[in-house]
A and B are shown apart, each in its own frame.
Chain A
C-alpha cells in the first residue's frame, strides 16, 4: 500500500484537470496512456502506470470514436482511478484495474453530458451580453464549458487520490476469485476496442489488410512498428497509383489550376 500525500493528491487533481480540458482543445491528453503516465510520474511508479495506460488505451481506443457531440465512457476511469488503484493496492493488477475502473468511466461520461446540458443556456446569456456590448461577459460565457471541465477534472483527480484509503477498503472486500476473474476479463476487454475501430474502418476492400496484420503478428511475431511498415508499403503504393490517375485526369481535363502542384 503506497501512501498518497496531500501534495501528490493536489498534483493529480491538477494533472487530471489539464488532461480533461485537453479533451475540448483536441490535444489528445484525455487518453489513458497520457493520464496514467502523469499519475505514475507523480507517485513515482512509472512502470505500473505504463502498463495501466497501455491496457486502458487499447481497450478505450474504440470508445473515443463517434459522431460529434456523442460522449463516450471517459478514459479518466482507467487512466486516473484505475492507475491509482494499481499503484497503491497490491491486490489490484493493471489488468484487473481496467474492469474495476469502468464504472467510474461511465459515471464521468454522465457528468460530461450533464455539463453540456447545463451549458445549453450559454448561447442565450452570451447573446444577452452582446446586446449590451459586454464582450468580456461574452467571452466568459463562451469559455464556461472548459472551465467546468477543469473544475470537474480537478475534483475527480484530487478526490480519487485523496479517498484512495476508502476505495482500497472497498477493493479489499472483493474476493480473490473475483479479482482473478476481473484480470481475465481485463485481457479480453481490448477486443471490444479493436472491434469498435474495425466496425468503422473495415471496408470490404480492406479485409486483406486485416488478414495481413493478423499473419504478421501471430505467425511472424513482428513488432508493431514492423507491422505498420508492412501496411505502409501497400498504403504508399496505393497513394502513388491514385496520384498518377489524378494527374492524368488533371492534364486531360486541361484546367487552369495554378496551385495544383502543391498537392501532388
Chain B
C-alpha cells in the first residue's frame, strides 16, 4: 500500500493495512543496534500504515516515525498485538503521547510470554524432534523443522494482530493467563522430550575394561566391562549424570557456557587419551 490516496483528512486503514503491518513484524529487527534495540525496526514496521494515515503531511509523518524510533525490545512474534492496538488507536485520532503508555507497557509482558513460548517451548521441542529425525537420516527433517516452526509462529502473528485490533487493551490480562496455561503445557512436553533426548543423544561410554590377556575384537572374553556394569545399574547413567552436573553448574554455580564447553572438550580429550572413555 503506497498510500497515494490523497484526501484532505486523515485516512482510514483497511484490514489489508493491518495484515500488512502484522506481517512486517518480520522486519522488527532489521535495524537492530545497541542503542535503541528494536526501536528503528518498530518505526520501520509501522512505516506503510503511518504513510497511509499521515502521508499528506510529511511533517507529521516524520514526527511519528521519529517518536516511534525510541528504544523498544519485545518478542517479534507477539509484536502484531501491539502494532494493531497502536494502529487502532492512531486511526481513531489519538496522539502518540496517549498511545505510548500502552505500547511501552505491553513491551515487557509480551516479550516474556513470547520468549517463553517460542524460545523455551516451541524451539526446543521442534529442534529436538527434527534433529533426532535428521540423526536417523531423514532428509525431510530440516525442512520439517522450518515449516513447523514458521507455521506456528506465523499463526501466532496473525492471531495476535487480529486480537489486538479487535479487543484493544482490556484483554491483556486474560491473554497472559491463557498463555500461562499453554506455556505450562508446552513446558511439560518440552521437559519430557529434553530429558528423553539427554538420555539418548549424550554419549559417554567407558572404554575401560579389565581383561585376562589381550583384547580381541569380536571374541567374547571374560572381561570386567565397566560400561556393562553401569548399564545394569541404570541405562544411560553417565549421560544423565553429566547432564545433571552441567545443570548444577549452570543453575547453582552460574558457570558460563564458555567454561562448560572448555571443560567438556578438555575432559573428553583427556579421558579419551588415557583410554577411559571412547
Within 8 A of B (CB), among A25-68: 25-29, 31, 33-34, 36-37, 46-47, 50-51, 53-55, 57-58, 61-65, 67-68
Question: From B186, which residue of chain A is reached at the shortest CB distance?
Answer: A235
The answer on a CB contact under 8 Å between A217 and B268 is: no
B188 at interface (Cβ–Cβ under 8 A)?
yes
> When chains A and B are docked, how far (Å) is the Cα of A33 from the Cα of B143?
9
Question: From A21, which residue of chain B is reached at the shortest CB distance?
Answer: B30
The answer on a CB contact under 8 Å between A58 and B270 is: no
Question: From A255, which residue of chain B is reached at the shortest CB distance?
Answer: B174
* From B235, B261, B272, contact of A219 by CB (8 A): B235
B196 at interface (Cβ–Cβ under 8 A)?
yes
B226 contacts which chain A residues (CB < 8 A)? none
* From B121, B141, B205, B243, contact of A191 by CB (8 A): B243
B181 contacts which chain A residues (CB < 8 A)? 238-239, 242-243, 246
The answer on a CB contact under 8 Å between A186 and B111 is: no
The answer on a CB contact under 8 Å between B189 and A232 is: yes
The answer on a CB contact under 8 Å between A192 and B273 is: no
A194 contacts which chain B residues (CB < 8 A)? 194, 197-198, 202, 243, 246
The answer on a CB contact under 8 Å between A145 and B171 is: no
* From B69, B145, B187, B268, contact of A34 by CB (8 A): B145
Say which one of A2-10, A134-142, A153-161 lies at the interface with B: A134-142
B89 at interface (Cβ–Cβ under 8 A)?
no
The answer on a CB contact under 8 Å between A184 and B278 is: yes
Within 8 A of A (CB), among B148-183: 149-150, 153, 166-167, 171, 174-175, 177-178, 181-182
Q: How many A-B residue pairs have CB under 8 A?
A: 372
A63 contacts which chain B residues (CB < 8 A)? 257
A202 contacts which chain B residues (CB < 8 A)? 191, 247
Question: From A133, which residue of chain B is reached at the shortest CB distance?
Answer: B58
* From A33, A122, A206, A235, contact of B33 by CB (8 A): A122
Within 8 A of A (CB), among B119-136: 119-121, 123-125, 127-135
Take A184-B278, A231-B188 as given contacts and tell me if A29 and B146 are in contact as well, using a CB distance cutoff of 8 Å.
Answer: yes
Take A28-B145, A185-B265, A239-B185 as given contacts and tell me if A201 and B30 are in contact as well, using a CB distance cutoff of 8 Å.
Answer: no
> When chains A and B are docked, how far (Å) is the Cα of A144 from the Cα of B30?
7
Report A233 CB to chain B, min CB distance, Å.
9
Report B123 CB to chain A, min CB distance, Å.
7
The answer on a CB contact under 8 Å between A120 and B142 is: no
Report B140 CB to chain A, min CB distance, Å.
10
The answer on a CB contact under 8 Å between A185 and B267 is: yes
> When chains A and B are docked, how far (Å) is the Cα of A190 from the Cα of B201?
7
> When chains A and B are docked, how far (Å) is the Cα of A18 from the Cα of B43?
23
Within 8 A of B (CB), among A178-210: 178, 180-192, 194-203, 206, 209-210
> When chains A and B are docked, how far (Å) is the Cα of A263 from the Cα of B182?
11
Complex interface bits, B194-236 against A, C-beta within 8 A gives 1, otherwise 0: 1111111111110000000000000000000000000000111
Complex interface bits, B27-66 against A, C-beta within 8 A gives 1, otherwise 0: 1111111111101110110010000000000110111011
> When chains A and B are docked, how far (Å) is the Cα of A53 from the Cα of B134?
7
Report A54 CB to chain B, min CB distance, Å.
4
The answer on a CB contact under 8 Å between B195 and A188 is: no
B43 contacts which chain A residues (CB < 8 A)? 126, 138, 142
The answer on a CB contact under 8 Å between B166 and A259 is: yes
> When chains A and B are docked, how far (Å) is the Cα of A34 from the Cα of B205?
29
Report A96 CB to chain B, min CB distance, Å.
10
> When chains A and B are docked, how far (Å) is the Cα of A225 from the Cα of B125?
10
The answer on a CB contact under 8 Å between A214 and B135 is: no
The answer on a CB contact under 8 Å between A57 and B134 is: yes
* From A135, A142, A242, contact of B30 by CB (8 A): A142
> When chains A and B are docked, how far (Å) is the Cα of A57 from the Cα of B127?
7
Q: Which residues of A contact B (CB under 8 A)?
A: 24-29, 31, 33-34, 36-37, 46-47, 50-51, 53-55, 57-58, 61-65, 67-69, 72-73, 99, 102, 106, 116-117, 119-124, 126-127, 130-131, 133, 135, 138-139, 141-146, 177-178, 180-192, 194-203, 206, 209-214, 216-219, 222-225, 227-228, 230-232, 234-236, 238-239, 242-243, 246, 257, 259-260, 263
What would 7 A/B residue contacts be, using CB atoms closer than 8 Å?
A: A24-B29, A123-B33, A191-B246, A195-B244, A214-B236, A217-B196, A236-B185
6 more CB-based (< 8 A) A-B contacts, given A57-B130, A143-B30, A188-B267: A25-B27, A58-B197, A122-B40, A194-B202, A194-B246, A200-B120
Closest 7 CB pairs of A and B: A185-B268, A213-B195, A181-B269, A231-B192, A187-B203, A195-B246, A119-B33
